[in-house]
């Protein structure tokens, strides 16, 4: 986002508010003083000039980065423009290093002023403001560098994919045989210009490798630059370029290690999810089991009640027998009397 | 996926290199081929170690062998070379080389480097045998393998929990029906008791 100067709008707002409300005379005078002090552009301190130029550089770098991101996103097999991309990458790298140096000098200037200044309240506020501005610029630069690194990663990924596709279309064994030695030779010594196969099929894989070879050291320098930017020292840029060769080869191994560990981490996260799902399912089933429990208790009570009734019935039947015997005995006696009489 | 040879080489930057310790496993070659293959491996090792700059890793492919070399440099100017077949995964190979060199530096004093024949470093054989199966030896791969096994077990567990859910649903229905029937049984028994008093 480009830096906009909205001081005039701010001043107009202040004027309108002042005219609307009733301020005491003293406050109005103080504000008048502030406004007149900040008026002319000639009174801008050297600090703010440097800061604004750095901010402009950062914004232009961000625009270039956007263009690079768009170029890097293209996934076509043949229309790739490695020269442009690598040029743009180089320019952006230079810009970032430049901005880094400027920020470092700005911070040194701030520290120097800090040492000179007496402890007036205005001076303290000014120092704090300067410090904040430097922090802001540094964080903006760090964001830009992060975006740059992401773009480079996307680019290397795309190049890997296009290389795989190229191998599919061209003779696979010849490409593979030329891969490994040219890989090591090119990475180890980027000046050697060997053509391993001697025919045209080696050209495009080689260009890809060269682009990749240049893309990767950028990420290493970036890592070192980020560290430098975050700490606010500008001296590491020169060393960064020299360490490029050494850090290149480590990067593959370290990257593969980090991907392996990331896959482990994602597996563990998956396992955690599975456990949660499992717990959820068991909790759902708990309700149902409780229903079964209640039903079983009901069944037990019903069956025991029914047994009690049957027992009572049985008891009443067995006790009733005596009454029955008595009733039947009386009937039989009457029948006997009637038969004997007749 | 096999490791054929593992060696520790002293590789000063510009002069020739000397092999300090080697271990080979040529059991997959026929008995008569072994000497020549062994010599080829030694020559390969020395050449590769000489051609790798200090502090760099490199992988070179030759017919069906792949050699990974890690030139540690440092004060002892050591390099580790491992020759494997093409299937062997690259990352555990380099981590093996790192481990091997660290172990070598810890166990063998620098003064012994001038007499390579006298260096006794039996751990190199142990490393060779152990790393024949990289999935078990390399820590990261072992963890990944165990995690995968655990994932499979958890999937089976979830399937059995689903089955359990179905059975529990079945049980609920049955217990509902049983409860209704027992209630009817109780009512009938009660009715039996109160009305139509049998004489």
Domain holding B152: CATH number?
1.20.5.110
- B175 to A177: CB separation less than 8 angstroms, yes or no: no
Question: Within this chain, do residues B21 and B58 fall inside the same structural domain, yes or no?
Answer: yes
Contact residues, B window 45-104, toward A, CB-based 8 Å cutoff:
51-53, 55-61, 66, 90-91, 94-95
pLDDT at B117 over 50: yes
pLDDT at A218 over 90: no
Sorted by sequence, the CB contacts under 8 Å of residue A144 that are 6+ apart come out as A58, A61, A62, A65, A96
A312 touching chain B per CB within 8 A? yes
What percentage of residues in chain A have a pLDDT greater than 70? 65
Question: Within this chain, do residues A105 and A165 fall inside the same structural domain, yes or no?
Answer: yes
Question: Within this chain, do residues A89 and A161 fall inside the same structural domain, yes or no?
Answer: yes
Question: Within this chain, do residues A254 and A337 fall inside the same structural domain, yes or no?
Answer: no
Q: Is residue A295 part of a domain?
A: yes
Q: How far is Cα B103 from Cα B23, in angstroms, rounded to an integer?
A: 15
Question: Within this chain, do residues A302 and A274 fall inside the same structural domain, yes or no?
Answer: no
Domain range for residue A320?
291-341
Question: Within this chain, do residues B18 and B106 fall inside the same structural domain, yes or no?
Answer: yes
Q: Is residue A307 part of a domain?
A: yes
What percentage of residues in chain A have a pLDDT greater than 90? 17
Q: Is residue A171 part of a domain?
A: yes
Buried b (16+ CB within 10 A) or exposed e, A47-58: beebbeebbebb
DSSP A101-168: HHHHHHHHHHHHHHHH----HHHHHHHHHHHHHHHHHHHHHHHHHHHHHHHHHHHHHHHHHHHHHHHH
Q: What pLDDT is recorded for position A273? A: 93
Question: Within this chain, do residues B114 and B148 fall inside the same structural domain, yes or no?
Answer: no
- What CATH code is carried by the domain that includes residue B54? 3.30.450.50
pTM of the model: 0.47
Closest in A267, A274, A306 to B189, CB measured: A306
Question: Within this chain, do residues B28 and B64 fall inside the same structural domain, yes or no?
Answer: yes
User: ipTM surpassing 0.85, yes or no?
Assistant: no
pLDDT tens profile A273-311: 999 999 999 998 898 999 999 999 999 999 999 999 989
Question: Within this chain, do residues B18 and B38 fall inside the same structural domain, yes or no?
Answer: yes
- Which residues on A lie below 8 Å from B155 (Cβ)? 274
Question: Within this chain, do residues B69 and B130 fall inside the same structural domain, yes or no?
Answer: yes
The mean pLDDT of B104-124, rounded to a whole number, is 83
Question: Within this chain, do residues B75 and B163 fall inside the same structural domain, yes or no?
Answer: no
pLDDT at B192 over 60: yes
As beta bridge partners, residue B84 has B3, B66
pLDDT at B177 over 70: yes
Question: Within this chain, do residues A321 and A274 fall inside the same structural domain, yes or no?
Answer: no
- What CATH code is carried by the domain that includes residue A259? 1.20.58.70
Q: Is residue B199 part of a domain?
A: no
Closest in A179, A271, A278 to B151, CB measured: A271
- Which residues on A lie below 8 Å from B61 (Cβ)? 177, 179-181
| Candidate from A204-208, A281-285, A310-314, B179-183 with smallest mean pLDDT | A204-208
* DSSP helix/strand/coil, B133: coil
Closest in A180, A184, A264 to B140, CB measured: A264
The mean pLDDT of A7-18, rounded to a whole number, is 88
Question: How many domains does chain A contain in total?
Answer: 2
Q: How far is Cα B140 from Cα A247, in angstroms, rounded to an integer?
A: 23
Contact residues, A window 24-83, toward B, CB-based 8 Å cutoff:
none
Question: How many domains does chain B contain in total?
Answer: 2
Question: Within this chain, do residues B162 and B101 fall inside the same structural domain, yes or no?
Answer: no
B107 touching chain A per CB within 8 A? no
- A306 to B185: CB separation less than 8 angstroms, yes or no: yes
């Amino acid at each position: 986002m480009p830096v906009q100067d909205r001081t005039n709008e701010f001043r107009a707002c202040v004027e309108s508010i002042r005219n609307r409300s009733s301020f005491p005379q003293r406050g109005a005078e103080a504000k008048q003083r502030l406004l007149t002090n900040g008026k002319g552009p000639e009174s801008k301190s050297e600090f703010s000039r440097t800061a604004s130029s750095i901010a402009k550089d950062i914004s232009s770098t961000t625009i270039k980065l956007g263009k690079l991101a768009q170029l890097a996103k293209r996934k076509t097999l043949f229309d790739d423009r490695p020269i442009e991309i690598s040029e743009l990458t180089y320019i952006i790298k230079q810009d970032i290093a430049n901005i880094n140096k400027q920020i470092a000098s700005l911070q040194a200037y701030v520290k120097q002023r800090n040492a000179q200044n007496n402890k007036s309240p205005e001076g303290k506020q000014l120092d704090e403001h300067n410090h904040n501005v430097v922090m802001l610029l540094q964080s903006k630069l760090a964001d830009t560098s992060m975006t740059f690194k992401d773009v480079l990663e996307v680019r290397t990924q795309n190049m890997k994919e296009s290389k795989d596709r190229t191998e599919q279309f061209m003779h696979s064994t010849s490409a593979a045989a030329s891969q490994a030695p040219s890989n090591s030779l090119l990475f180890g010594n980027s000046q050697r210009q060997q053509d391993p196969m001697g025919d045209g099929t080696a050209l495009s894989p080689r260009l890809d490798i060269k682009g990749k070879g240049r893309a990767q050291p950028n990420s290493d320098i970036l890592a070192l630059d980020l560290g430098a930017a975050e700490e606010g020292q500008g001296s590491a840029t020169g060393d960064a370029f020299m360490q490029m060769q050494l850090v290149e080869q480590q990067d593959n191994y370290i990257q593969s290690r980090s991907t392996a560990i990331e896959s482990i981490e994602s597996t563990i996260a998956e396992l955690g999810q599975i456990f949660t799902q499992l717990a959820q399912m068991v909790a759902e089933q708990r309700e149902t089991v409780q229903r079964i429990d209640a039903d079983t208790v009901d069944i037990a009570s019903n069956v025991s009640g029914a047994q009690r009734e049957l027992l009572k019935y049985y008891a009443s039947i067995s006790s009733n027998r005596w009454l029955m015997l008595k009733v039947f005995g009386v009937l039989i006696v009457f029948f006997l009397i009637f038969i004997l009489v007749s | 996926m096999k490791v054929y040879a593992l060696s520790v080489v002293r590789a000063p930057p510009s002069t020739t290199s000397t092999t300090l310790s080697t271990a080979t496993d040529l059991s997959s070659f026929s008995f008569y081929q072994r000497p020549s293959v062994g010599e080829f491996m030694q020559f390969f090792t020395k050449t590769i170690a000489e051609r790798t700059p200090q502090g760099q890793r490199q992988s070179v492919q030759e017919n069906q062998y792949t050699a990974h070399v890690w030139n540690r440099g440092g004060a002892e100017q050591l390099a580790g070379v491992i020759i494997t077949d093409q299937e062997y995964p690259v990352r555990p190979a380099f981590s093996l080389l790192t481990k091997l060199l660290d172990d070598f530096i810890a166990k063998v004093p620098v003064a012994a480097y001038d007499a390579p024949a006298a260096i006794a470093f039996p751990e190199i054989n142990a490393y060779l045998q152990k790393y024949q199966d990289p999935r078990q030896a390399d820590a990261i791969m072992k963890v990944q393998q165990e995690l995968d096994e655990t994932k499979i077990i958890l999937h089976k567990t979830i399937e059995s929990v689903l089955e359990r859910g179905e059975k529990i649903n079945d049980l609920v229905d049955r217990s509902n029906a049983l409860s209704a029937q027992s209630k009817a049984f109780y009512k009938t028994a009660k009715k039996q008791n109160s009305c139509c008093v049998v004489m």
